[in-house]
Structure 1
Amino acid sequence: MPDNRDLVHILAGHAAGLAYEDLTDAAREAAKKSVLDTFGVILAASGMEPAVRGVIEIVQEAGGSPDSTVLGFSGKAPAMMAALANGALAHCLDYDDQTPWGQHCASSIVPAVFAVAERQGGVTGRDLIAAVAAGQDIFARLRRNVGWKKDWNLSTVLAVFAASAAAGRVMGLSARQLSHAMGIASMQSSGIMEMVAGRGSDLRGMYAGFSAKGAVLAALMAEKGITGIDRMFEGRYGFFNSYFGGRYDREAILAGLGAEFQGAGTLYKRWPCVGTAHSHMKAAIDIMAENGLKTGDIARVVLHVGDYHDLMCQPLDERRAPATLADAKFSLPFLVSVAIVRGGMSVTDFSQAGLADPDVLAVGRKISLLADPALDWKLDLPPGRVEIVAADGRICVREGCGVPGNADNPMDWPDLCAKFIECASVCATPVAPERLAHVAELARKLEVLDDATVLIRSFQA
């Protein structure tokens, strides 16, 4: 018989009842990788993104019960505030993982899950893995099957539900309580794309803090018996009608639920910037390497752009030479220029000195755009195509493929551990190398831990 309940009840039941044993090996590995990867980018952001310091100061000033660890900085805070701090850090460098279709959820899920796990105590590694996997699965199912018009910031609008489901699973909420938590989370579901596409705002980097905090608040309220919204997703005035004009595919959202875990396809970034720029960067790097070009050999660089690529290019002069670190990570001409000059990208490329690098800026001045509607963003991340015209008249064109971290060139555990060590090297509070190696090993065998929070507490052991 068809299940005609609102999707909030079906997805809540899915998360509440999901056991580690139900997961595929790929889903388990993705959840564990996302934990280590998220911890790493949080540590890097603590030392590399000055804008987040204001959030940390607010968290420290708020006081309260020292339930949960604030990574990158010493001390603890109440679970909600720790989730805010760690979530704000988790996306600051745009180095957190993403789905194959774009958008980010681990930067909301992992801070929320560990905040409530530390507050509660006694959460096993297997339960934590199941919680993260449930959140990743719910996020991917929603992400793929709503009629997004690039108006809402899906990473926060959807991730607060995924993170609430994951946090509720850690807390052992019943299916009914968890549906209440997801309904309550609708009050925290927000974020407009102007925050992402516009310039000059620090919010673009720290937005995951709001969804992580909102998820913890929603789960705690549901635990206290506060009720949510019975027809939260599919009601006449529910989420799908209000946010997407009723454009969603219920059948696709539910297809394979409990058997197919869509978070298993999570992608891990090798370069700390917006994922939709990576294929252009790879194309430019390949052209330079394959043709033996030096930066002085370049006459022109033409970026073929679809609709979303163009957002990262306007206005062109400002995107060639961005004024802030947050803007730099979303400025396609600047990112391609860095890739050409450096042959790649590192967290240390994003500093005030990096923004003023004369070699990078010189390449940027040679960049122009060519609109290509075939590269518009539908569901899959659109590829990038780059044309470099050499001073000797050679014309080299390449489409970016084999991007480090993408499905056709994935990052395995050694790659992720290397990224983790790189990120930790710029942490605001130095962590001993042997401690980092211990954390990485714990993450890899998270399922054997009787207390999953040993992982986060090991940074300060």
Structure 2
Amino acid sequence: MAASAHRSPSAVAVSTASPGTPAVAVSGAPSASPEALDGSRPGGPTEVQELAAYVHSATFEQIGDEALEQLRIRILDTLGVAIAALDAEPIRAVRELLEDLGGAPRATLIGGGRTSPDRAAFYNSALSRYLDFMDSYLAAGETNHPSDNLGAVLAAAESVDASGQELLTALAVAYQIHTRLSDVAPVRAKGFDHTTQGAYAAAAAAAKAMRLPAEQIAHAIAIAGTANNALRVTRTGSLSHWKGLAYPQVAKEGTFAALLAGRGITGPEEVFEGNKGFKDSIAGDFTIDWSSEGLDAVRRTIIKKHNAEIHSQSALDAAQDIRAQDGFAIEAVRSIRLRTFDVAHSIIGGGEEGDKRTVRTKEEADHSLPWMLAVVLLDGELTPAQYHHERIVADDVQDLMRAVEIVSDDASSARFPDLMPADLEVTLADGTVFRSAQDSYEGFHTDPLSWEGARAKFDLLTTPFATEELREEIAGIVRDLEHHSVRELTGALARAGTSRATPAER
């Protein structure tokens, strides 16, 4: 991937924070060895030290205009999804637990309250993840959700009173690390969850936001990467609440790893290349020249149009298209057949990750392509409203789901991940066939979501939880975030849920 700005390879050394911004490291913490201090060791710096040098050297000025605009859009989108989840039952349970546990009030919870940065990272990430309506990145062998890192970056940045520029830079770093590791080191086929690569991204971004020196950034990444290799069973078979909480756990642990590193705690310096390290044990060999990486990976990520697992998006567009065609009659449907790419079939279509026709909960519904196709053909849309329990288990959608057949198609698979091909045929009882073929959608990288589109989605999701005045305030801060402090943003987010729209405003 071409770099957007030249970076000189450099060994990792203890560095000072930017002028006027104190580092988090505490005096009296364990001191590093002389070799670690000057980066000299047999064979040169380790791979995690090279990654840390990249993270430490990243600056706001290196983010291109288009990437900056897309970062703002991702932040608004992620915050909207988070606010919309404030009433979710698992979120309420997590909130009650945090209130029982307490914590030093150094970071704000969306919806109000303060706690320690690691616990705030967990809670805010849980909010942004619960609806499964966030952004995604498609690599050939892995899919992830880089916006999952916002909770860690937001908490870490607020804890040191960081600027909006610092938050944006740290988030750009998270996107770059998360996507590039997924490109070259996929782990899904080996039984590990996509949150595995995220452990490196969350820790790096939190450490960057906390203004740690490069040496401590390396230790934070090493600690989090070594300790958070999650199992893919999270997303196979019958799905549990953990599907939506697995990345919040990584956000929490990445933030805590940065806090530990800031106190001088060290991690395995050969976490990538060492004996029984990430390459040896899980990923296999790969190479990334971090010195040539830019900060523009956000441009290759995509945003969901439908409140559904990412690989379903083009298929659900096809379902909407068929539903709108002249002569279509939902009550006369006899069969529904979807030909699509192998990843969609494997993860949500009833392939290798388990049958998707037993749907009883929100977690199972948003990862069941048969259920999602059925509900869109019936309702014409898939929003948080369709995930009310009564709609999930309703007879009409449960019955129609049984008529869905999903098959993996080699030609479609060859076009993924550049496109997301979906060829849908619906046959009525009299033999009439309706067909729609789609391979992208609004929000895909071929048709990026605009600020206006992001704002429309934000308002749709947050109106039940925020007045028009508060929505304008949050969106206004995000639109011009580089000229605001992080605490201005979190102060506005704290009022969500407590400042609800009136029925007339909804």
Equivalent residues in 2 for 1:17-416, closer than 5 Å: 17-47=57-87, 49-72=88-111, 74-101=112-139, 102-107=143-148, 109-121=149-161, 123-244=162-283, 246-248=284-286, 250=287, 253-254=288-289, 257-259=292-294, 261-305=296-340, 306=342, 308-314=344-350, 319-320=356-357, 322-376=359-413, 382-416=420-454
- CA offset at residue 152 of structure 1? 4.2
The 1:255–1:212 alpha-carbon spacing in structure 2 relative to 1, beyond 3 Å, is closer
- CA offset at residue 46 of structure 1? 1.8
- 1:23, 1:152 → 2: CA distance? 35
Q: Which residue of 2 is the match for residue 457 of structure 1?
A: 491
Q: Is the 8 A contact 1:312 1:319 kept in 2?
A: yes
Aligned length: 449
The 1:65–1:317 alpha-carbon spacing in structure 2 relative to 1, beyond 3 Å, is closer
Single out whichever of 129-138 and 337-346 deviates more from structure 2: 337-346
Q: Is the 8 A contact 2:425 2:435 kept in 1?
A: yes
Q: Which residue of 1 is the match for residue 13 of structure 2?
A: none
- 1:291, 1:153 → 2: CA distance? 45
- 2:136, 2:388 → 1: CA distance? 24
TM-score, normalising length from structure 1?
Answer: 0.90
- 1:234, 1:37 → 2: CA distance? 36
Q: Which runs of 4 or more aligned residues in structure 1 lie more than 6 Å from their structure 2 counterparts after TM superposition?
A: 1-4, 315-318
What is the one-letter code of the residue matched to 2:79? F
Q: Is the 8 A contact 1:94 1:273 kept in 2?
A: yes
The 1:71–1:152 alpha-carbon spacing in structure 2 relative to 1, beyond 3 Å, is farther
Aligned residue for 2:292, secondary structure, equals coil
What is the one-letter code of the residue matched to 2:407? L
Which runs of 5 or more structure 2 residues have no equivalent in the other structure?
Answer: 1-7, 11-43, 496-506
- 2:255, 2:295 → 1: CA distance? 26
- 1:14, 1:299 → 2: CA distance? 56
Which runs of 5 or more structure 1 residues have no equivalent in the other structure?
Answer: none
TM-score, normalising length from structure 2?
Answer: 0.83
Q: Is the 8 A contact 1:16 1:178 kept in 2?
A: yes
Aligned residue for 2:264, secondary structure, equals coil
- CA offset at residue 195 of structure 1? 1.0
- CA offset at residue 375 of structure 1? 4.5
The 1:392–1:348 alpha-carbon spacing in structure 2 relative to 1, beyond 3 Å, is same
**1:247-266 CA distance string (max 9 Å, x none):** 42x1xx32783446222222
Q: Is the 8 A contact 2:135 2:304 kept in 1?
A: yes
**1:362-399 CA distance string (max 9 Å, x none):** 32132123343444597557422222112332333333
What is the one-letter code of the residue matched to 2:115? A
Aligned residue for 2:334, secondary structure, equals strand
The 1:394–1:434 alpha-carbon spacing in structure 2 relative to 1, beyond 3 Å, is same
Q: Which residue of 2 is the match for residue 432 of structure 1?
A: 467
The 1:398–1:151 alpha-carbon spacing in structure 2 relative to 1, beyond 3 Å, is farther
- CA offset at residue 18 of structure 1? 0.8
**1:257-286 CA distance string (max 9 Å, x none):** 344622222211121111011122112222
What is the one-letter code of the residue matched to 2:388? S
What is the one-letter code of the residue matched to 2:400? V
The 1:310–1:266 alpha-carbon spacing in structure 2 relative to 1, beyond 3 Å, is closer
- CA offset at residue 14 of structure 1? 1.1
Q: In percent, how many aligned pairs have the same letter?
A: 27
Aligned residue for 1:184, secondary structure, equals helix
Aligned residue for 2:305, secondary structure, equals coil
